[in-house]
Amino acid sequence: GQSLEQPSEVTAVEGAIVQINCTYQTSGFYGLSWYQQHDGGAPTFLSYNALDGLEETGRFSSFLSRSDSYGYLLLQELQMKDSASYFCARGSTLGRLYFGRGTQLTVWP
């Protein structure tokens, strides 16, 4: 199957660190991506991991462990504007992206 599992909701306060986990099924795996989507907006790319380890892009980092079929997105120094849905997505053959159901992050002041 193509399913990915991630928590449906996470809440945190401004300035905090939050980790959003994602587990996936491994058939035809081409890497794990993360996308952010604000209400009413389009998904926008945040990060991609093809190999094990940590990728850092500013306040956001993403980690992948292929042996555990697991990844996470780490958001540091949270800001109000980070309130959005975050999707992990598994790359597959021919450019397919299979998305998880999204994690709604709410950042409180």
Partner 1 sequence: DTAVSQTPKYLVTQMGNDKSIKCEQNLGHDTMYWYKQDSKKFLKIMFSYNNKELIINETVPNRFSPKSPDKAHLNLHINSLELGDSAVYFCASSSDRAGTDTQYFGPGTRLTVL
Binding footprint of partner 1 on the chain (CB under 8 A): 30-31, 33, 37, 41-45, 48, 50, 85, 87, 91-99, 101-102
CB of 32 to partner 1, least distance (A): 11
Smaller CB separation from partner 1, 45 or 108: 45
CB of 59 to partner 1, least distance (A): 19
Smaller CB separation from partner 1, 62 or 85: 85
Cα(47)–Cα(83) distance, rounded to whole angstroms? 17
Q: Which residue, among 76, 83, 90, has the nearest Cα to 34 in the 3D structure? A: 90
CB of 105 to partner 1, least distance (A): 13
Indicate the burial class of 62 (C-beta count within 10 angstroms; 0-12, 13-18, 19 or more).
buried
CA distances (Å), origin 29, targets 15, 77, 102: 34, 31, 19
Smaller CB separation from partner 1, 49 or 82: 49
